[in-house]
């Protein structure tokens, strides 16, 4: 049995969840873990001096639990309820390969996760497009006025800069303004190449 762990990180509203779901439907033995499932309750999330809830930082998440969930999945992916029905294009030699897509906005800035990735993707968006998309979404709790400019975007830039400064980290940056089809086609082909390497 072989396991492939794919990171799908990047900017808020960059299309991570959509891309992860589409890949899951196309890849054999594929499962998703979403970072959004590991947010702490609102009462445990710190507030800054401007009154903004600090959701876009690692401290707002149960990161240890997330690492444990991924490691548990890697130990026994077949017991995670992963659907192993045969798609027509599944080769016999891929039957014992399991793929986990981990999607979230802060995947590569937490050291214990960094030894788990086979591939890392990072979706980017320009400021205006990101702000526009974010304004169409409803969050619990809701974004307060000024939250995007006061917290969300500065934290995105901070963590992205950290990533770019880490020369040892191999990350494939994806342009989130491209069509979903284009992004899907690129990442799917790339993962298939990784699968082929595993089989060699």
Residues classed as catalytic? 36
Catalogue the long-range contacts made by 170-175 (C-beta closer than 8 Å, 24 or more residues apart): 170/120, 171/108, 171/120, 171/121, 171/122, 172/119, 172/120, 172/121, 172/122, 173/121, 173/122, 173/124, 174/10, 174/121, 174/122, 174/123, 174/124, 175/124
Rounded-to-integer distance, Cα 35 and Cα 52, Å:
21
* CA–CA separation, 168 and 170 (whole Å): 6
Of 116, 115, 118, 134, the C-alpha closest to 172 is 118
Tokens of 147: 């939250």
Tokens describing residue 123: 């979706």
């Amino acid at each position: 049995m072989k396991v492939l762990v794919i990171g799908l990180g990047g900017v808020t509203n960059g299309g991570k969840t959509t891309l992860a779901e589409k890949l899951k439907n196309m890849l054999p033995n594929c499962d998703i873990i979403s970072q959004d499932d590991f947010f702490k309750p609102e009462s445990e999330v710190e507030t800054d001096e401007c009154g903004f809830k600090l959701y876009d930082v690692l401290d707002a998440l149960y990161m240890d639990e997330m690492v444990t969930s991924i490691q548990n999945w890697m130990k026994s992916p077949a017991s995670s309820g992963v659907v192993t029905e045969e798609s027509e294009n599944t080769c016999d030699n891929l039957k014992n390969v399991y793929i986990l897509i981990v999607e979230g906005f802060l995947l590569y800035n937490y050291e214990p996760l960094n030894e788990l990735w086979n591939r890392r993707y990072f979706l980017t968006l320009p400021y205006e497009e990101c702000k526009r998309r974010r304004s169409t979404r409803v969050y619990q709790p809701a974004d307060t006025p000024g939250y995007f400019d006061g917290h969300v975007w500065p934290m995105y830039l901070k963590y992205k800069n950290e990533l770019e400064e880490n020369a040892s980290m191999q990350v494939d940056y994806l342009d989130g303004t491209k069509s979903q089809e284009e992004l899907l086609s690129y990442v799917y082909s790339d993962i298939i190449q990784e699968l082929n390497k595993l089989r060699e």
